[in-house]
């Protein structure tokens, strides 16, 4: 049996790799991929806590249902995010977020 | 920890998940990055199977590999100025420091029970089926409001994405 | 497969093997059996397809190697293996070589949830129908990868076309798939088949079957949707750079996918192994499933060899403006009807134990709903067709007038 903390440790590692990707990559698409990694790290945590919940009643569906909602948000976020990236690219010929600065005074 | 199917599976999925994730943040080529992302998220789907949530695993594969991977690939192809970006990273050292520090803090948090002790034992038996999830999503005292909100959000996101990405000239 | 595996396991333990090892080996044997069935079928399928295509086109087809040309596939296999295995120098080596494998695996993996008889199946997943949709999406990614990794612009353009097609037709496919799932009240393939004891699902909703049939024809890239490999207009689509056995893998995946879809349709809409005397022996049950699957498979071959290819914009318009709305409306109407009938007590709450008499009212009402929908649709299509004809007639009239005016 795998103890709970190992799942949490893997999720923590995944989350931090995602954070590194978001902070350091220049390409907007790569940043979006980092965000996806972070969302999935959260999902591992939610499902693991649900499975190991001390109450012993996994019928309490919180972790399970919330993971489903996170997946929905991830899909919506990817669709809108990529649409924005494509539009910015079309207008400014760039996929670097710092260069989309038209609104800057 | 004894060696059985679950632990072997756990190690394989850990290698897939973390290896894929490292591939995502290190590869120079964004298409390869997408493939690495899929490897990583496939590993996450494996965890869901181990945690007796097969429905989530199937949805994970369907949503990420069936939809998001294709979306990202199309975005990568449509924004092909990738060659113009000379350096892969900016602020490499600070980001590395921040994420490593965060990882150590989180690892400390999950291994040392500072937030109170939590059970490390599996909940006895999982009797939940996909049917229970389906019922909970439409039941009045279940998740019917978040479920409806999620549907509205998806519709809004779909319309928004089409509207934003549409070429105005045509 | 289960009883076979446990039997083998017992045998090994009795002859002095380690229990864990015995279990592992017997599981492995089960896996080999389940994946072996499709691998063996594909060899015969290629021969069947070539023979049928030849007959439709008034040819004889392969008849040189072996009796009736049965050994032709083996000869082709040897030829493909003997060919030079080229990897373009500028290609992405790993992804280029992985793509055919993933493509083939995505089809073979579907067979995990296919129940051959009431007692012989790989796994009875609780989420069988969802699993099948999820695994099928791997194939899409494989095609995209193949197109990109070849580093050839024709391959990439071909892959774009295909992926747009596949992603679009997945939508009506899933909506049509939801009808049997809703009727059975379960996503397990075994439950879906068992729920058809009273009546086959195709009678409940012929429309859902037709939508599923059309979309799966598109998913496999067969005419009239054969943009994947439009021989007469594209060089070869996404697999232009592939040669030898790697090309063979894509090829085999496509052939197997068509037959797999036939089997899936037999399971989802035609009662799977149900038929006279199926409970007598697993062999009879298996034969019924095979017969139904083969019949649907033959109709797809017939369709493939008779209809012309559509343009990409026509294919997309047909999907998004016709199939998707139709499948959504069909699903909404049927689910509302089922719920109302259940509340009134005319429909069984649990299809799994319902007899023919129990489901008769539901069947009749759902069939009538489908019939009304079809009549309504045909009316709309007729009106559209008349309008289009009148417009083109008017345009032609104007042209003729102009021509005669110029002649004067």
Q: How far apart are CA B6 and CA C340, in angstroms?
A: 45
pLDDT score of B88? 66
Query: Bigger pLDDT: C9 or C168?
Result: C168
Nearest to B69 among C125, C141, C160 (CB): C141
Q: How far apart are CA C178 and CA C289, in angstroms?
A: 21
ipTM: 0.89
In chain C, whose CA is at the least distance from the CA of B35? C145
| pTM exceeds 0.95 for this model | no
Residues 6+ apart with CB under 8 A from B85: A26, A27, A95, A96
How do residues B79-119 score in pLDDT, each as one tens digit? 775 555 566 677 888 889 999 999 999 888 888 766 666 65
Q: Show the low-confidence residues of chain B (pLDDT under 50).
A: none
Quick one: which H or E segment has residue A86?
helix A62-92
Nearest to A36 among B37, B53, B76 (CB): B37
pLDDT score of C2? 56
Nearest to B106 among A12, A76, A86 (CB): A12
In chain B, whose CA is at the least distance from the CA of C21? B4
- In this structure, how many other beta carbons lie within 10 angstroms of the beta carbon of residue C223? 17
Beta bridge partners of C115: C121
DSSP assignment of A67-79: HHHHHHHHHHHHH
What average pLDDT score do residues A47-56 get?
74
Kindly report the average pLDDT of chain A as a whole number.
Answer: 85
In chain B, whose CA is at the least distance from the CA of C156? B77
Q: Å from B129 to nearest chain C CA?
A: 8
How do residues C175-192 score in pLDDT, each as one tens digit? 999 999 999 988 999 999
Q: Label residue A14 by pLDDT band (50, 70, 90).
A: very high
Which chain B positions have a beta carbon within 8 Å of A95's beta carbon? 79, 81-82, 85
Query: Bigger pLDDT: B168 or C162?
Result: C162
Residues 6+ apart with CB under 8 A from B79: A29, A85, A86, A89, A95
- Record: contact A86-B79, CB cut-off 8 A: yes
Which chain B positions have a beta carbon within 8 Å of A83's beta carbon? 160-162, 164-165
Residue C33 has pLDDT above 90, yes or no: no
In chain C, whose CA is at the least distance from the CA of B70? C141
Closest by CA position to C3, among listed C30, C21, C24, C22? C30
Is residue B131 classed as helix, strand or coil in its secondary structure?
helix
pLDDT score of C173? 94
- Record: contact B70-C170, CB cut-off 8 A: no
* Range C313-343 burial, b when 16+ CB lie within 10 A, else e: eebeebbeeebbebbeebbebbeebbeebee
pLDDT score of C323? 93
How do residues C277-298 score in pLDDT, each as one tens digit? 888 888 888 899 999 999 999 9
- Record: contact B61-C125, CB cut-off 8 A: no
- Record: contact B66-C134, CB cut-off 8 A: yes
- Cis ω on the peptide bond leading into residue C346 (within 30° of 0)? no
């Amino acid at each position: 049996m795998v103890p709970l903390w190992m799942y949490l440790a893997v999720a923590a590692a995944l989350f931090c790799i995602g954070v590194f990707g978001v902070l350091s990559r220049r390409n907007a698409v790569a940043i979006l991929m980092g965000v996806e990694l972070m969302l999935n790290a959260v999902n591992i945590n939610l499902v693991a806590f649900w499975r190991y919940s001390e109450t012993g009643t996994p019928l309490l569906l919180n972790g399970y249902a919330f993971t489903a909602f996170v997946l929905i948000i991830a899909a919506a976020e990817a669709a809108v995010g990529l649409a924005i990236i494509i539009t910015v690219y079309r207008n400014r010929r760039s996929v670097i977020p710092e260069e989309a600065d038209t609104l800057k005074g | 920890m004894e060696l059985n199917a679950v632990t072997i599976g756990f190690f394989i999925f850990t290698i897939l998940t973390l290896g894929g994730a490292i591939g995502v943040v290190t590869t120079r080529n964004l298409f390869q990055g997408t493939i690495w992302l899929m490897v990583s998220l496939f590993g996450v789907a494996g965890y869901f199977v181990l945690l007796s949530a097969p429905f989530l695993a199937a949805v994970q594969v369907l949503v990420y590999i069936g939809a998001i991977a294709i979306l990202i690939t199309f975005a990568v192809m449509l924004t092909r100025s990738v060659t113009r970006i000379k350096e892969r990273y900016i602020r490499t050292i600070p980001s590395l420091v921040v994420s490593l520090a965060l990882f150590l803090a989180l690892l400390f948090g999950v291994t040392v029970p500072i937030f109170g002790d939590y059970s490390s034992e599996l909940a006895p038996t999982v009797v939940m089926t996909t049917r229970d999830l389906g019922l909970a999503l439409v039941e009045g005292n279940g998740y019917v409001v978040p479920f409806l909100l999620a549907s509205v959000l998806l519709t809004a996101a779909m319309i928004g994405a089409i509207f934003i990405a549409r070429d105005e000239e045509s | 497969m289960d009883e076979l595996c446990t039997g083998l396991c017992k045998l090994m333990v009795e002859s002095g093997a380690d229990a864990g090892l015995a279990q592992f080996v017997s599981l492995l044997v089960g896996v080999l059996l389940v994946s072996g069935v499709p691998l063996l079928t594909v060899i015969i399928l290629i021969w069947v397809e070539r023979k049928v295509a030849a007959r439709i086109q008034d040819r004889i087809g392969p008849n040189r190697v072996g009796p009736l040309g049965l050994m032709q596939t083996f000869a082709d296999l040897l030829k493909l293996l003997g060919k030079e295995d080229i990897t373009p120098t500028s290609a992405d080596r790993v992804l280029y070589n992985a793509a055919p494998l993933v493509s083939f695996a995505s089809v073979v993996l579907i067979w995990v949830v296919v129940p051959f008889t009431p007692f012989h199946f790989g796994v009875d997943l609780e989420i069988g129908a969802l699993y099948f949709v999820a695994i099928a999406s791997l194939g899409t990614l494989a095609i995209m990868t193949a197109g990109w990794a070849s580093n050839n612009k024709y391959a990439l353009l071909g892959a774009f076309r295909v992926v747009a097609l596949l992603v679009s037709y997945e939508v009506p496919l899933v909506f049509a798939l939801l009808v049997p799932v809703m009727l059975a009240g379960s996503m397990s393939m075994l439950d879906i088949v068992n729920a058809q004891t009273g009546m086959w699902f195709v009678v409940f909703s012929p429309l859902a079957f037709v939508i599923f049939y059309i979309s799966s024809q598109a998913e496999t890239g067969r005419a009239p949707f054969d943009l994947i490999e439009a021989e007469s207009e594209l060089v070869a689509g996404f697999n232009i750079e592939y040669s030898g056995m790697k090309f063979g893998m894509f090829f085999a995946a496509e052939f197997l996918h068509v037959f797999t879809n036939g089997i899936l349709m037999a399971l989802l809409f035609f009662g799977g192994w149900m038929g006279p005397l199926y409970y007598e022996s697993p062999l009879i049950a298996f034969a019924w499933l095979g017969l139904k699957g083969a019949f649907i498979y033959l109709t797809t071959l017939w369709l493939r060899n008779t209809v012309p290819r559509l343009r990409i914009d026509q294919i997309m318009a047909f999907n998004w403006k016709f199939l998707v709305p139709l499948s959504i409306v069909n699903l909404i109407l049927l689910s509302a009807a089922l719920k109302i009938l259940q509340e009134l007590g005319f429909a069984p709450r649990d299809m799994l134990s319902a007899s023919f008499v129990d489901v008769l009212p539901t069947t009749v009402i759902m069939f009538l709903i489908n019939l009304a929908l079809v009549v309504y649709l045909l009316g709309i299509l007729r009106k559209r067709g008349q309008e289009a004809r009148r417009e083109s007639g008017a345009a032609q009239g104007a042209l003729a007038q102009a021509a005669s005016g110029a002649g004067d």
